Structure 1
Amino acid sequence: MGDELFDAVPAHLLKKTEEQRVIATDLARLSVLQAALERGYETAIWLDADFLIFKPAEFKLPDQGYAVGREVWVQHDKSRKLKVYKKVHNAFLMFRKENSFLDFYRETAERLLVQNSGPMPPQFIGPKLLTALHNVAVLPVMESAGMLSPLVIKDVLKGGGDALSRFVVNSDQPITAANLCSSCCRSGEVSSQEMEHLIERLLKEPGFILNARGL
């Protein structure tokens, strides 16, 4: 799916986000999911291209009408101490037919984009909006659909470490899939070779993170 992904994004919003295609993508995925449900599918799921299901037998969809992914982000603060940010993400999204959230989420995202007149962070209508809504309304979360920060990736590659330990302690369930944040390769935080090794390890040793609570 290439440029046609943006076909359902209103022209004025596509123009407004032309310098922030990540934001346009966050809106476009909602259109794709809505279209799938309108075509008669009982369940529509969005997975980012860098979302890896490394334990498919354990990756079971929840029974709720919709669900978002879990983000446990571990990074250094200004004092170089590890800090954990627990949020939700949209690298995994699931919506069932006649769910109560998708239309509201898209309408809210579009309204915020129209009203905004200043700079927008890349996660403006994605994880930031979802996390804000989650903090108020407690959205259904698929806890096993995680996300790995660069520090956690480094620890997975070396077989353990403080960042991975904090990730595990702050995860409500062991993850069976994760967004690997390929953008960290473009930023230089993780090399492409390290990313390849990460994927290889997760596929060959899927139980590593599942059992990491024992570290």
Structure 2
Amino acid sequence: MNIIPAVDIIDGQNVRLTQGDYDQKTAMKRTPEEAVQFYSTFEQVGRIHIVDLMGALKQNALETTIISKLKTLTDRPLQIGGGLRSIETIEVYDGIGIDYFILGTRAIMDIDWLNEVTARYPNRVFVGVDARENDIYVNGWTENSNITIDDYLEQVEGLDLAGIIYTDINKDGMNQGPNFENTKRINDLTRHTVIASGGVRNKEDLEKLESMGIENAIVGKASHSDEFWEGIR
């Protein structure tokens, strides 16, 4: 299992939201810099997941300065999301050495644009499919796209994606475990690598995902707990 710990940033601070609610923000004990360095000590951490939360809400990349610094603090690949709505923004991140780009809202709503991006950056683009039930949500999880997961996967099956990041919004930050059933269903629907996200609590959750054929999981809230990392090494 490839563990991908998450660092969510608002105004340079390492925070967590509950179910994507910006009014339910909790500061984490480690700074973004400390978190990246800590996660990099575990060989099971294959990548680190960085999200510019205000960038996602404001539809623009706002944390490029600190993300550039984080890149210098680890030898692990970084995957960046939040506010990536233009080729120009992706070029900025590419210029500072970011390895993978997580595209959300525009990639959901504008397949022609996604096709252009993947042609330019093949196998470096993850699409964030954030859903309540089977409905994909956009704009920082605030709006229903009126596109279902099943319909969307059909549209992107032929693109050179790095993978699909599936988040069950209702599970995110709730410490109830991921949506195992739907994660497996999505994995069975597509040839793309599926990354589980939202609700992973412990090693047992990771082992259950792995038994279902899911080999990558983003760990958010739990990754900030020392208890999670006990026995991981």
Q: What is the TM-score of this pair, normalised by structure 2?
A: 0.31
Relative to total residues, which structure has the larger strand share, 1 or 2?
2
Q: What is the TM-score of this pair, normalised by structure 1?
A: 0.33
Q: Which has the larger radius of gyration?
A: 1
Relative to total residues, which structure has the larger helix share, 1 or 2?
1
